[in-house]
Amino acid sequence: MKKIEAIVRPSKLEPLKEALFAAEITGMSIYEVSGCGNQHGWKEYYRGSEVIVNTLPKVKFEVVVPDGKVDEIVAIIAETARTGQVGDGKIFVLPVDEVIRIRTDEKGDIAV
């Protein structure tokens, strides 16, 4: 199993949820986050003073999938989140040693 984490633009929240549900991903965690990468923020003026805003709002998706679905889900996320502009985000794929459903004590792929 793998955990796929994707940090994307907030405007991609709904299209990405729909695409993942269409791919039969039944569970995901979604967080509102902020951060910076190559964009490095921008300058704004607040009450006449220049302020450097160095973090931008983003959305983080986390899903756990069987090894055989990783490439499919990564492709769906990349295709759905891509605008071609700086700031589209990142996808991280991490190993998952075990998943346990608390309610039933099921383990492994069935617990996902």
Question: Distance (Å, rounded) from C-alpha 66 to C-alpha 46?
Answer: 48
Local structure of 85: helix, strand or coil: coil
In a domain, 99, yes or no: yes
Number of domains in the chain: 1
- pLDDT for position 8: 97
pLDDT-derived band at 36, boundaries 50, 70, 90: confident
Q: Is residue 47 part of a domain?
A: no
Supply the CATH number for residue 10's domain: 3.30.70.120
Q: Residue 46: its pLDDT value, please? A: 78
Does 45 fall in a domain? no
Asked whether residue 48 is domain-assigned, the answer is no
| 41 has a pLDDT exceeding 90 | no
**Domain extent for 34:** 2-40+54-111
pLDDT digits (tens, 9 = 90+) for 43-86: 777 788 877 777 888 999 999 999 999 999 999 999 999 999 98
